[in-house]
Protein backbone atom coordinates (compact mmCIF):
# COMPACT_ATOMS: atom_id res chain seq x y z
CA UNK A 1 0.00 0.00 0.00
CA UNK A 2 1.42 3.38 -1.02
CA UNK A 3 1.74 5.87 1.86
CA UNK A 4 0.29 9.20 0.73
CA UNK A 5 -0.04 10.78 4.18
CA UNK A 6 2.86 13.17 3.63
CA UNK A 7 1.70 14.23 0.17
CA UNK A 8 1.16 17.97 -0.22
CA UNK A 9 -1.72 19.57 -2.12
CA UNK A 10 -2.28 23.16 -3.20
CA UNK A 11 -5.94 24.13 -3.62
CA UNK A 12 -6.48 27.28 -5.71
CA UNK A 13 -9.98 28.78 -5.85
CA UNK A 14 -11.35 32.31 -5.39
CA UNK A 15 -14.52 31.10 -3.60
CA UNK A 16 -14.12 30.37 0.11
CA UNK A 17 -16.98 27.85 0.15
CA UNK A 18 -15.24 25.76 -2.52
CA UNK A 19 -12.00 25.82 -0.58
CA UNK A 20 -13.81 24.77 2.59
CA UNK A 21 -15.36 21.77 0.84
CA UNK A 22 -12.02 20.62 -0.57
CA UNK A 23 -10.10 21.12 2.66
CA UNK A 24 -12.81 19.20 4.53
CA UNK A 25 -12.62 16.36 2.00
CA UNK A 26 -8.82 16.16 1.79
CA UNK A 27 -7.40 17.65 4.98
CA UNK A 28 -7.45 14.45 7.01
CA UNK A 29 -5.44 12.50 4.42
CA UNK A 30 -3.04 15.07 2.97
CA UNK A 31 -1.14 18.23 3.83
CA UNK A 32 -3.28 20.93 2.21
CA UNK A 33 -2.38 24.57 1.54
CA UNK A 34 -4.63 27.11 -0.20
CA UNK A 35 -4.45 30.15 -2.47
CA UNK A 36 -7.33 32.36 -3.61
CA UNK A 37 -5.87 33.79 -6.83
CA UNK A 38 -3.38 32.97 -9.53
CA UNK A 39 -0.58 35.25 -8.35
CA UNK A 40 -0.75 33.82 -4.81
CA UNK A 41 -0.73 30.31 -6.26
CA UNK A 42 2.48 30.96 -8.18
CA UNK A 43 4.09 32.50 -5.11
CA UNK A 44 3.09 29.49 -3.02
CA UNK A 45 4.55 27.05 -5.56
CA UNK A 46 7.78 29.06 -5.72
CA UNK A 47 8.11 28.80 -1.95
CA UNK A 48 7.33 25.09 -1.73
CA UNK A 49 6.42 22.80 -4.61
CA UNK A 50 3.34 20.67 -3.87
CA UNK A 51 2.86 17.12 -5.04
CA UNK A 52 -0.40 18.04 -6.81
CA UNK A 53 -2.40 21.21 -7.56
CA UNK A 54 -6.20 21.54 -7.67
CA UNK A 55 -6.66 24.65 -9.79
CA UNK A 56 -9.82 26.66 -10.45
CA UNK A 57 -10.12 27.98 -13.99
CA UNK A 58 -12.39 31.03 -13.68
CA UNK A 59 -10.63 33.45 -11.31
CA UNK A 60 -10.33 37.24 -11.41
CA UNK A 61 -7.05 38.59 -12.74
CA UNK A 62 -5.00 35.55 -13.73
CA UNK A 63 -7.06 32.58 -14.89
CA UNK A 64 -6.28 28.96 -14.09
CA UNK A 65 -5.25 28.46 -17.69
CA UNK A 66 -2.60 31.19 -17.34
CA UNK A 67 -1.35 29.73 -14.05
CA UNK A 68 -1.07 26.29 -15.63
CA UNK A 69 0.75 27.66 -18.65
CA UNK A 70 3.33 29.44 -16.48
CA UNK A 71 3.94 26.39 -14.31
CA UNK A 72 4.35 24.07 -17.29
CA UNK A 73 6.77 26.48 -18.96
CA UNK A 74 9.15 26.34 -15.97
CA UNK A 75 11.43 23.31 -15.70
CA UNK A 76 11.28 23.54 -11.92
CA UNK A 77 7.48 23.14 -11.81
CA UNK A 78 6.54 21.50 -15.10
CA UNK A 79 6.23 18.02 -13.59
CA UNK A 80 3.68 18.99 -10.90
CA UNK A 81 0.32 17.34 -11.74
CA UNK A 82 -2.52 19.84 -12.19
CA UNK A 83 -6.21 18.98 -11.87
CA UNK A 84 -8.59 21.71 -13.04
CA UNK A 85 -11.65 22.66 -10.98
CA UNK A 86 -14.47 23.97 -13.12
CA UNK A 87 -18.18 24.32 -13.55
CA UNK A 88 -17.72 24.22 -17.30
CA UNK A 89 -18.46 20.98 -19.10
CA UNK A 90 -17.91 21.92 -22.72
CA UNK A 91 -15.50 19.54 -24.48
CA UNK A 92 -13.44 22.37 -25.95
CA UNK A 93 -12.70 23.72 -22.47
CA UNK A 94 -11.46 20.33 -21.32
CA UNK A 95 -9.36 19.97 -24.44
CA UNK A 96 -7.76 23.36 -23.84
CA UNK A 97 -6.76 22.46 -20.29
CA UNK A 98 -5.39 19.07 -21.23
CA UNK A 99 -3.42 20.64 -24.07
CA UNK A 100 -1.80 22.98 -21.54
CA UNK A 101 -0.62 19.98 -19.52
CA UNK A 102 -3.38 19.34 -16.96
CA UNK A 103 -4.01 15.68 -16.15
CA UNK A 104 -7.70 15.80 -15.19
CA UNK A 105 -10.86 17.85 -14.58
CA UNK A 106 -13.12 17.84 -11.53
CA UNK A 107 -16.45 19.60 -12.02
CA UNK A 108 -18.42 21.65 -9.52
CA UNK A 109 -20.38 21.08 -7.36
CA UNK A 110 -17.83 18.70 -5.77
CA UNK A 111 -18.54 15.16 -4.70
CA UNK A 112 -16.11 14.82 -1.72
CA UNK A 113 -15.66 11.04 -2.08
CA UNK A 114 -15.01 11.36 -5.82
CA UNK A 115 -12.51 14.19 -5.27
CA UNK A 116 -10.65 12.16 -2.65
CA UNK A 117 -10.51 9.05 -4.84
CA UNK A 118 -9.25 10.90 -7.91
CA UNK A 119 -6.63 12.79 -5.93
CA UNK A 120 -5.39 9.53 -4.39
CA UNK A 121 -5.20 7.89 -7.81
CA UNK A 122 -3.22 10.75 -9.32
CA UNK A 123 -0.83 10.96 -6.36
CA UNK A 124 -0.26 7.20 -6.45
CA UNK A 125 0.53 7.41 -10.16
CA UNK A 126 2.86 10.35 -9.53
CA UNK A 127 4.75 8.45 -6.84
CA UNK A 128 5.19 5.47 -9.14
CA UNK A 129 6.40 7.73 -11.95
CA UNK A 130 8.86 9.45 -9.63
CA UNK A 131 10.15 6.08 -8.49
CA UNK A 132 10.63 4.91 -12.07
CA UNK A 133 12.45 8.14 -12.93
CA UNK A 134 14.73 7.63 -9.93
CA UNK A 135 15.48 4.09 -11.10
CA UNK A 136 16.23 5.32 -14.63
CA UNK A 137 18.53 8.05 -13.31
CA UNK A 138 20.40 5.57 -11.13
CA UNK A 139 20.69 3.08 -13.99
CA UNK A 140 21.95 5.85 -16.28
CA UNK A 141 24.47 6.94 -13.66
CA UNK A 142 25.74 3.37 -13.32
CA UNK A 143 26.05 2.98 -17.10
CA UNK A 144 27.92 6.28 -17.40
CA UNK A 145 30.25 5.29 -14.57
CA UNK A 146 30.88 1.90 -16.17
CA UNK A 147 31.58 3.59 -19.50
CA UNK A 148 34.02 6.04 -17.92
CA UNK A 149 35.85 3.37 -15.92
CA UNK A 150 36.13 1.14 -18.99
CA UNK A 151 37.54 3.94 -21.15
CA UNK A 152 40.07 5.04 -18.57
CA UNK A 153 41.11 1.45 -17.89
CA UNK A 154 41.73 0.83 -21.60
CA UNK A 155 43.64 4.08 -21.91
CA UNK A 156 45.72 3.30 -18.84
CA UNK A 157 46.50 -0.14 -20.24
CA UNK A 158 48.02 1.51 -23.30
CA UNK A 159 50.00 3.95 -21.16
CA UNK A 160 51.40 1.12 -19.04
CA UNK A 161 53.39 0.08 -22.08
CA UNK A 162 55.11 3.48 -21.90
CA UNK A 163 55.99 3.85 -18.21
CA UNK A 164 57.27 7.43 -18.50
CA UNK A 165 53.84 8.84 -19.33
CA UNK A 166 51.63 7.68 -16.47
CA UNK A 167 49.91 11.05 -16.06
CA UNK A 168 49.54 11.69 -19.77
CA UNK A 169 45.94 10.50 -20.09
CA UNK A 170 44.85 12.42 -17.00
CA UNK A 171 46.45 15.64 -18.21
CA UNK A 172 45.30 15.43 -21.81
CA UNK A 173 41.66 14.75 -21.01
CA UNK A 174 41.61 17.82 -18.77
CA UNK A 175 43.37 19.90 -21.47
CA UNK A 176 40.77 18.83 -24.04
CA UNK A 177 37.89 19.73 -21.75
CA UNK A 178 39.36 23.13 -20.86
CA UNK A 179 39.99 24.04 -24.50
CA UNK A 180 36.57 22.79 -25.63
CA UNK A 181 34.81 24.82 -22.95
CA UNK A 182 36.72 27.90 -24.05
CA UNK A 183 35.60 27.35 -27.65
CA UNK A 184 31.99 26.25 -27.14
CA UNK A 185 30.62 29.74 -27.82
CA UNK A 186 32.90 30.33 -30.82
CA UNK A 187 30.79 30.51 -34.02
CA UNK A 188 32.96 27.92 -35.76
CA UNK A 189 32.47 25.30 -33.06
CA UNK A 190 29.25 26.14 -31.18
CA UNK A 191 27.13 23.70 -33.23
CA UNK A 192 29.41 20.83 -32.19
CA UNK A 193 30.68 21.72 -28.72
CA UNK A 194 27.62 21.51 -26.51
CA UNK A 195 27.97 20.43 -22.87
CA UNK A 196 27.09 16.79 -23.58
CA UNK A 197 29.67 16.49 -26.38
CA UNK A 198 32.36 18.16 -24.27
CA UNK A 199 31.74 15.63 -21.52
CA UNK A 200 32.00 12.77 -24.03
CA UNK A 201 35.27 14.17 -25.37
CA UNK A 202 36.60 14.43 -21.83
CA UNK A 203 35.71 10.80 -21.16
CA UNK A 204 36.91 9.53 -24.55
CA UNK A 205 40.26 11.35 -24.61
CA UNK A 206 42.11 8.58 -22.70
CA UNK A 207 41.64 6.33 -25.75
CA UNK A 208 43.57 8.58 -28.13
CA UNK A 209 46.73 6.45 -27.86
CA UNK A 210 45.05 3.05 -27.49
CA UNK A 211 46.77 2.03 -30.74
CA UNK A 212 50.11 1.96 -28.94
CA UNK A 213 49.28 -1.57 -27.84
CA UNK A 214 49.99 -2.62 -31.42
CA UNK A 215 53.46 -1.04 -31.60
CA UNK A 216 56.44 -3.36 -31.04
CA UNK A 217 58.23 -3.05 -27.71
CA UNK A 218 61.64 -2.38 -29.25
CA UNK A 219 60.17 0.76 -30.84
CA UNK A 220 57.70 1.92 -28.21
CA UNK A 221 60.16 1.41 -25.33
CA UNK A 222 63.33 2.48 -27.09
CA UNK A 223 65.42 4.62 -24.66
CA UNK A 224 66.24 7.32 -27.20
CA UNK A 225 65.15 8.98 -30.42
CA UNK A 226 63.63 6.80 -33.11
CA UNK A 227 65.16 6.26 -36.53
CA UNK A 228 63.12 7.33 -39.55
CA UNK A 229 62.05 3.73 -40.12
CA UNK A 230 61.07 3.27 -36.48
CA UNK A 231 59.15 6.53 -36.54
CA UNK A 232 57.12 5.26 -39.51
CA UNK A 233 56.17 2.22 -37.44
CA UNK A 234 55.37 4.32 -34.39
CA UNK A 235 52.99 6.50 -36.42
CA UNK A 236 50.91 3.43 -37.22
CA UNK A 237 49.42 3.58 -33.72
CA UNK A 238 46.83 6.03 -35.06
CA UNK A 239 45.64 3.43 -37.56
CA UNK A 240 45.70 0.64 -35.00
CA UNK A 241 43.64 2.74 -32.61
CA UNK A 242 41.13 3.74 -35.26
CA UNK A 243 40.65 0.16 -36.44
CA UNK A 244 40.21 -1.45 -33.03
CA UNK A 245 37.68 1.17 -31.91
CA UNK A 246 35.85 1.00 -35.27
CA UNK A 247 35.21 -2.72 -34.72
CA UNK A 248 33.54 -2.02 -31.39
CA UNK A 249 31.70 1.02 -32.75
CA UNK A 250 29.90 -1.21 -35.24
CA UNK A 251 28.37 -3.09 -32.31
CA UNK A 252 27.15 0.05 -30.54
CA UNK A 253 26.31 2.18 -33.57
CA UNK A 254 27.76 5.42 -34.94
CA UNK A 255 25.97 7.53 -32.34
CA UNK A 256 27.80 5.88 -29.45
CA UNK A 257 30.56 7.51 -27.40
CA UNK A 258 33.05 5.43 -29.39
CA UNK A 259 32.51 7.70 -32.41
CA UNK A 260 34.44 10.48 -30.67
CA UNK A 261 37.02 8.02 -29.37
CA UNK A 262 37.63 6.75 -32.91
CA UNK A 263 38.13 10.30 -34.23
CA UNK A 264 40.56 11.10 -31.44
CA UNK A 265 42.58 7.93 -31.96
CA UNK A 266 42.65 8.20 -35.76
CA UNK A 267 43.27 11.88 -36.36
CA UNK A 268 45.11 13.51 -33.45
CA UNK A 269 48.32 13.50 -35.53
CA UNK A 270 46.70 15.14 -38.57
CA UNK A 271 47.96 18.67 -39.34
CA UNK A 272 46.07 21.76 -40.40
CA UNK A 273 48.12 22.09 -43.59
CA UNK A 274 47.48 18.48 -44.65
CA UNK A 275 50.95 17.08 -43.90
CA UNK A 276 49.89 14.92 -40.94
CA UNK A 277 49.10 11.24 -40.55
CA UNK A 278 47.52 8.81 -41.20
CA UNK A 279 45.21 10.25 -43.88
CA UNK A 280 46.69 13.65 -44.72
CA UNK A 281 43.48 15.43 -43.73
CA UNK A 282 43.55 19.20 -44.07
CA UNK A 283 41.82 22.12 -42.34
CA UNK A 284 38.19 21.62 -41.41
CA UNK A 285 38.23 18.07 -42.78
CA UNK A 286 40.05 17.14 -39.56
CA UNK A 287 37.45 16.36 -36.89
CA UNK A 288 37.06 19.08 -34.26
CA UNK A 289 37.71 16.49 -31.55
CA UNK A 290 41.05 15.55 -33.11
CA UNK A 291 42.08 19.21 -33.52
CA UNK A 292 41.52 19.73 -29.81
CA UNK A 293 43.46 16.58 -29.02
CA UNK A 294 46.36 17.62 -31.25
CA UNK A 295 47.05 20.74 -29.20
CA UNK A 296 46.58 18.89 -25.91
CA UNK A 297 48.88 16.06 -27.00
CA UNK A 298 51.68 18.26 -28.29
CA UNK A 299 51.60 20.60 -25.31
CA UNK A 300 51.87 17.62 -22.98
CA UNK A 301 54.73 16.10 -24.96
CA UNK A 302 56.61 19.39 -24.78
CA UNK A 303 56.29 19.95 -21.03
CA UNK A 304 56.96 16.28 -20.16
CA UNK A 305 60.27 14.63 -19.37
CA UNK A 306 61.45 11.88 -21.70
CA UNK A 307 64.58 9.72 -21.77
CA UNK A 308 65.72 11.68 -24.81
CA UNK A 309 64.79 15.18 -23.61
CA UNK A 310 64.20 17.39 -20.59
CA UNK A 311 60.80 19.01 -20.01
CA UNK A 312 60.34 22.29 -21.87
CA UNK A 313 59.31 25.38 -19.90
CA UNK A 314 55.65 26.34 -20.19
CA UNK A 315 56.55 29.53 -22.07
CA UNK A 316 58.53 27.61 -24.68
CA UNK A 317 55.67 25.15 -25.18
CA UNK A 318 53.28 28.06 -25.75
CA UNK A 319 55.67 29.62 -28.27
CA UNK A 320 56.00 26.36 -30.22
CA UNK A 321 52.25 25.82 -30.42
CA UNK A 322 51.69 29.47 -31.35
CA UNK A 323 54.19 29.09 -34.19
CA UNK A 324 52.28 26.01 -35.38
CA UNK A 325 48.98 27.87 -35.71
CA UNK A 326 47.81 27.65 -39.34
CA UNK A 327 50.29 24.90 -40.22
CA UNK A 328 50.14 22.16 -37.61
CA UNK A 329 47.14 23.37 -35.64
CA UNK A 330 43.76 25.01 -36.20
CA UNK A 331 44.67 28.73 -35.81
CA UNK A 332 41.48 29.65 -33.95
CA UNK A 333 42.11 26.86 -31.48
CA UNK A 334 45.66 28.10 -30.99
CA UNK A 335 44.33 31.56 -30.16
CA UNK A 336 41.99 30.04 -27.57
CA UNK A 337 44.81 27.91 -26.18
CA UNK A 338 46.98 30.97 -25.66
CA UNK A 339 44.15 32.71 -23.80
CA UNK A 340 43.78 29.82 -21.35
CA UNK A 341 47.39 28.63 -21.32
CA UNK A 342 47.63 29.26 -17.59
CA UNK A 343 44.84 26.70 -17.13
CA UNK A 344 46.95 24.19 -19.06
CA UNK A 345 49.89 24.87 -16.77
CA UNK A 346 47.68 24.32 -13.69
CA UNK A 347 46.53 20.97 -15.06
CA UNK A 348 50.09 19.94 -15.88
CA UNK A 349 51.23 20.80 -12.36
CA UNK A 350 48.34 18.90 -10.79
CA UNK A 351 49.10 15.67 -12.67
CA UNK A 352 52.88 15.91 -13.23
CA UNK A 353 54.81 12.63 -13.30
CA UNK A 354 58.15 14.01 -12.12
CA UNK A 355 59.29 16.70 -9.72
CA UNK A 356 61.54 17.99 -12.48
CA UNK A 357 58.45 18.73 -14.56
CA UNK A 358 56.85 20.66 -11.69
CA UNK A 359 59.98 22.71 -11.22
CA UNK A 360 60.18 23.58 -14.91
CA UNK A 361 56.48 24.47 -15.08
CA UNK A 362 56.80 26.71 -12.03
CA UNK A 363 59.51 28.86 -13.60
Residues 134-160 have pLDDT tens digits of 888 888 777 676 666 666 666 666 666
Q: Decide if pLDDT at 183 tops 90.
A: yes
**Cα separation, 314 vs 337, whole angstroms:** 12
- Please tell me which residue, 355 or 333, carries the higher pLDDT value: 333
Residues 301-352 have pLDDT tens digits of 999 987 778 899 999 999 999 999 999 999 999 999 999 999 999 999 999 8
Predicted confidence band of residue 298 (pLDDT cuts 50, 70, 90):
very high
**Cα separation, 141 vs 105, whole angstroms:** 37
Same fold, 8-134 and 161-361: no
Counting Cβ atoms within 10 Å, is residue 231 exposed (0-12), middle (13-18) or buried (19+)? exposed
Start-to-end CA distance of the chain, whole Å, equals 68
Architecture of domain 8-134: 3-Layer(aba) Sandwich (3.40)
Predicted confidence band of residue 88 (pLDDT cuts 50, 70, 90):
low
SS3 label, residue 156: helix
Bond before 109 cis per omega within 30 degrees:
yes
- Please tell me which residue, 258 or 276, carries the higher pLDDT value: 276
- Residue 310: which residues within 8 A CB-CB, separation 6 or more? 356, 360
Q: Decide if pLDDT at 223 tops 80.
A: no
Average pLDDT of span 287-299 = 97
Q: Decide if pLDDT at 163 tops 70.
A: no
Counting Cβ atoms within 10 Å, is residue 309 exposed (0-12), middle (13-18) or buried (19+)? exposed
- Please tell me which residue, 268 or 138, carries the higher pLDDT value: 268
- Domain 161-361 fold is Hypothetical protein af1432 (1.10.3210)
Query: Can you give the pLDDT at residue 80?
Result: 93
Query: Can you give the pLDDT at residue 255?
Result: 63
Long-range contacts of the stretch 228-231 (C-beta < 8 A, 24+): none
Query: Can you give the pLDDT at residue 188?
Result: 96
Query: Can you give the pLDDT at residue 357?
Result: 83
Q: Decide if pLDDT at 168 tops 70.
A: yes
Query: Can you give the pLDDT at residue 283?
Result: 97
Annotated domain spans of the chain: 8-134, 161-361
Amino acid sequence: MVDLSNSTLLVVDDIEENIDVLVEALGDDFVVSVAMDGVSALESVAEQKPDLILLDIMMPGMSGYEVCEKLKADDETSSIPIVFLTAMTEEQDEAKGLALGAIDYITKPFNPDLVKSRVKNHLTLKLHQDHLEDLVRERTRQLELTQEVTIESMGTLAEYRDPETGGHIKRTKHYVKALAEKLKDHPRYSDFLDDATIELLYKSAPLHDIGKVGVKDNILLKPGKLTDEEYVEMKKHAVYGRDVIAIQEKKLGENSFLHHAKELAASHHEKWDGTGIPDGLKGDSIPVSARLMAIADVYDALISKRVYKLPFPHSKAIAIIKEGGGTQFDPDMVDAFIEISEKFREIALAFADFEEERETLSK
